[in-house]
Amino acid sequence: MSEGLSVHAGGLPFAAVATAPRIPFPRNALVSYHCWRNRDISALADFTLVADSGAYSADTHGAVITVADLCAWATEWRKHFAWVAALDVIGDPVASHRNWELMRSHGVNAMPTVHFPAPPQTIDTYAREGVTFMGLGG
C-alpha cells in the first residue's frame, strides 16, 4: 500500500479484519409457512429448523394463513422441524389459544406464544394445560 493510504473494513484496519476469527456458519434457522409453503424444506436438511406461520409478514402483504393450511404444511415437513410455533394472533390471546387448540386437534404439538400486554394469567392457563415451553412476544 502507498504511504498515507489506510484501508478499513467495517471501521477496522484491513489487517485486523483479515485475521479476525470467522463467525461459524449458522446451524439453526426459522422458516415461515408464508415464505416456504411452496418450497422444498428438505433443501435445509443440514439445519435445525423452527417452523413459524409468518402471519405477520403475510398480513403485511394482504395474505391470510389458516390453521388448516399451516397444520398440513407442518405435518408434511414434520421430520425437519425441531418445533412448530402455533398460529398466534397478536393482541388477541383468546384467538391465539383457540388456534393453539386447533393445531393440537390437527395433530401438531405447537408451541404457543403469549404477547404483551396479555394478562399474566394467560401463561397460567397454558401451564395448567401442560405447556412447558412457550414463546413470549411484545
Q: What is the per-residue pLDDT for 22? A: 73
Q: What is the per-residue pLDDT for 12? A: 53
Cell of 129: 394445560
Q: What is the per-residue pLDDT for 82? A: 95
d(CA 94, CA 107): 20
pTM for this one? 0.79
Q: Are 99 and 106 in contact (CB under 8 A)?
A: no
Q: What is the per-residue pLDDT for 114? A: 94
d(CA 69, CA 81): 16
d(CA 112, CA 126): 8
Q: What is the per-residue pLDDT for 1? A: 43
d(CA 12, CA 22): 15
Q: Can you list the alpha helix ranges (DSSP code H) found in 12-136?
A: 14-19, 33-36, 55-60, 67-76, 93-105, 121-128
Q: What is the per-residue pLDDT for 16? A: 53
Which mean pLDDT values do the consecutive 10-residue runs of the chain (138 residues) have? 49 55 79 95 92 93 96 96 95 95 97 92 95 91
